[in-house]
Structure 1
Amino acid sequence: MTRRTLSDAPLLDAAAGRTPDRTPVWFMRQAGRSLPEYRKVREGISMLDSCFMPELLAEITMQPVRRHDVDAAILFSDIVVPLKAAGVGVEIVPGRGPVMDRAIRTRADIDALPILDHEVDEVAEGIRLILGELTDRQALIGFVGAPFTLASYLVEGGPSKNHQTTKAMMHAEPETWHALMERLVPTIITFLRTQIDAGIDAMQLFDSWAGFLTEADYREFVLPYSIRILQEINGVGIPRIHFGVGTGELLGAMSEAGSEVMGVDWRVPLDRAAERIHAASGPKVLQGNLDPAMLFAGRDAVTREVARIKAEAARAIDNGDATGHIFNLGHGVLPDTPAEAITEAVAIIHGED
């Protein structure tokens, strides 16, 4: 396909280290339960099923763009979608998250784990529909889950508070762990290729659970595979964003995976995060990092926090520790966030330059 050429998209300008005409902003989980229109169109349809219905997928992806005037759409999906597309038994249980039909614990389990070997046509068609509605100033961000987070869901059988079975496999059976990661990488790359070939303008690698690891464990058991995924699309011409939750101590190591943009959660000031990233891999574009809870605190509080975060980003850029800033939350929009508060926050971010 012929990729869109967006010469005036604030998010892409910032991601390339240029100066956008306004601070670009998008929010993780901006599409979803915070929007009444989302709850309406999803009635009676499971989360995973909706990710494989092109028209619904496109509608849900576009809802927050229409409502909030954000500078990018984020493809409505879930990190387990490529597993489902490959044939793995998984469902998203409301109130709990992705739950596997059976946990993956042995080498035989890993050898039997399906690998996604084809592009996911329903997702590609959904992307084409989204691109048909976006303006030339609005980017479409695709995403995939990083192999560690997918592996943890598989090993634990679902969400885990401590990831003890995952960590036990890493340390007691490292060969088994590495075999699992090797098995997952092709599935993730194939799903990412589906999105790239369909025309996404940027991508984000989510390592949701990486913050549970020590830096030593991250470097040994995770980083090589994230490097491989990001290297696979080096030269495609789209910016690569890398993000994890609770990863303040891992920012340097994660930045070595090779993305142009590093997402920062709300726990670390952006200028301090930039110093850690710069020291490890050179200055990069920062993304973040308003605490999602601030969207409940009212206009004055959001205005103060936005100004503080922008000042930290500007300081990092002035110090040579960062090359740009994309505004975001430090994690996803909380489900019961008032939709009006999100719209107001976007207006504040755009108007405070």
Structure 2
Amino acid sequence: MSTTLQNDLLIRAAFGQLTERPPVWMMRQAGRFMPEYWEIKNKYSFLEMCKTPEIAADVTMLPVDLLGIDGAILFSDILVTAEAMGGDLSFEQGVGPRFANPVRSLADAEKLNTDCLPKLEYVADAIKVIQQRLNGSIPLIGFAGAPFTILSYLVEGASSKDFKLTKLMLNNEPALAHKILQKIADVTVEYLNMQIAAGVNAVQLFDSWALALSWNDYKEFSHYYNQQIISKLNRKDIPVISFCKGSSVFAPIMAEAKPDVISVDWNADLKNIKQSLPQGIAVQGNLDPFVLYADKKVIREKIHQLFERMRGEEGFIFNLGHGIMPDIPFDNVKYAIETVKEFRY
């Protein structure tokens, strides 16, 4: 796939090659920090935006047109799989996602439908529209939520600070947790393979809440399923990026799932992580997103500091350690991307 791209920097770096400069994209790059996003968001609900291919394409293209990044990421949400499985999902302004029917018992788990790919066809349609608009300029990244993170939303019924109900299930009813996780994993494999068939150039697995877990619980309830998913992807020429909040701790286990890239949060020294990983696994990251609130001089210094640290390392994609916050000034994000694009090793 990469041979047809005009800018394949991201694909080359993801496959462990040394690039003339680090490629750049940012998690949540099409989001709420852009006035243009709000112009669209004020007309439609969040789920309408996700489910209408033309609108999803419009939002996906915002950072391509306005920021000039090296990779576009599909505009969607990690919870669309949970909704397709039967979750009654809504998004409340200032609160976030909610499931009106949390999954907390065996009866709830048995209602989860794994034969739900037709309900996600709108994502494949969006990918086709986006690829027509990108016209081979840069790669398009598809994604899915990892089973543990999806489980936590389904069990809690919303975002959580302490994941109490989820952890109670892992401890008191591990067999029930595994039943739900396996169903989510099965759907996720089909969903990501559908995205690959529709034409994405890379995929990322988001395990946003993995940091809530202990080492042993991460291995049993997160890694086991992520490994299963990655092993079943049609990944010829398609790099697989594994992201979890907690990758600074869990990177050695994440590597066992054999992703092409591990996306690292900002708590670790990126070079140390890179050098501790098996040969050939690339890294993505890991600027603290809060740096983007700072003066431009500081933004430039911190990016250059990271690049000097990574000098000579093969397989490095520049990104944030997590997503862009909604109130980060647009000009600062644009300046950060320009700083990356001007850099040469």
* Normalised TM-score (structure 1): 0.92
* Aligned twin of 2:14: 15
Which AA in structure 2 matches 1:223?
A: H
* Aligned twin of 1:285: 282
Which AA in structure 2 matches 1:333?
A: I
- Aligned partners of 2:2, 2:138: CA distance in 1, in Å? 14
Gap regions ≥5 residues in structure 1: 318-322
1:87-123 CA-to-partner distances (Å, cap 9, x unmatched) read 3211122222221112111111101112243242221
The question of whether the paired residues in 1 share the 8 Å contact of 2:16 and 2:280 is answered with no
Alignment pair present for 1:82 and 2:84: no
| More moved, 288-297 vs 119-128 | 119-128
* Aligned twin of 2:325: 334
The question of whether the paired residues in 2 share the 8 Å contact of 1:189 and 1:229 is answered with yes
Q: Within 5 Å, which residues of 2 pair with 1:1-353? A: 5-6=4-5, 8-119=7-118, 120-276=120-276, 278=277, 281-314=278-311, 317=313, 323-353=314-344
The question of whether the paired residues in 2 share the 8 Å contact of 1:4 and 1:199 is answered with no
**Secondary structure, in 3 states, of the residue corresponding to 2:310?**
helix
Check 1:223–1:183 CA distance in 2 against 1; reply closer, same or farther (3 A cut): same
The question of whether the paired residues in 2 share the 8 Å contact of 1:116 and 1:190 is answered with no
Which AA in structure 1 matches 2:249?
A: E
| More moved, 89-98 vs 236-245 | 89-98
Shift of 1:282: 4.1
- Aligned partners of 1:49, 1:116: CA distance in 2, in Å? 22
- Aligned partners of 2:6, 2:16: CA distance in 1, in Å? 14
Shift of 1:167: 1.2
Gap regions ≥5 residues in structure 2: none
1:285-341 CA-to-partner distances (Å, cap 9, x unmatched) read 1100111111111211011111111122226x2xxxxx3100001110110111111
**Higher RCO, Cα 8 Å, sep 6+:** 2
Which AA in structure 2 matches 1:84?
A: E
- Aligned partners of 1:308, 1:214: CA distance in 2, in Å? 32
- Aligned partners of 1:33, 1:13: CA distance in 2, in Å? 30
* Normalised TM-score (structure 2): 0.95
**Secondary structure, in 3 states, of the residue corresponding to 2:242?**
strand
State the identity %: 38
Q: CA RMSD in A?
A: 1.7
1:32-80 CA-to-partner distances (Å, cap 9, x unmatched) read 1111111001213111221000100000000011101100101111110
**Secondary structure, in 3 states, of the residue corresponding to 1:151?**
helix
Check 1:282–1:116 CA distance in 2 against 1; reply closer, same or farther (3 A cut): farther
1:193-221 CA-to-partner distances (Å, cap 9, x unmatched) read 22111100000000000011111111122
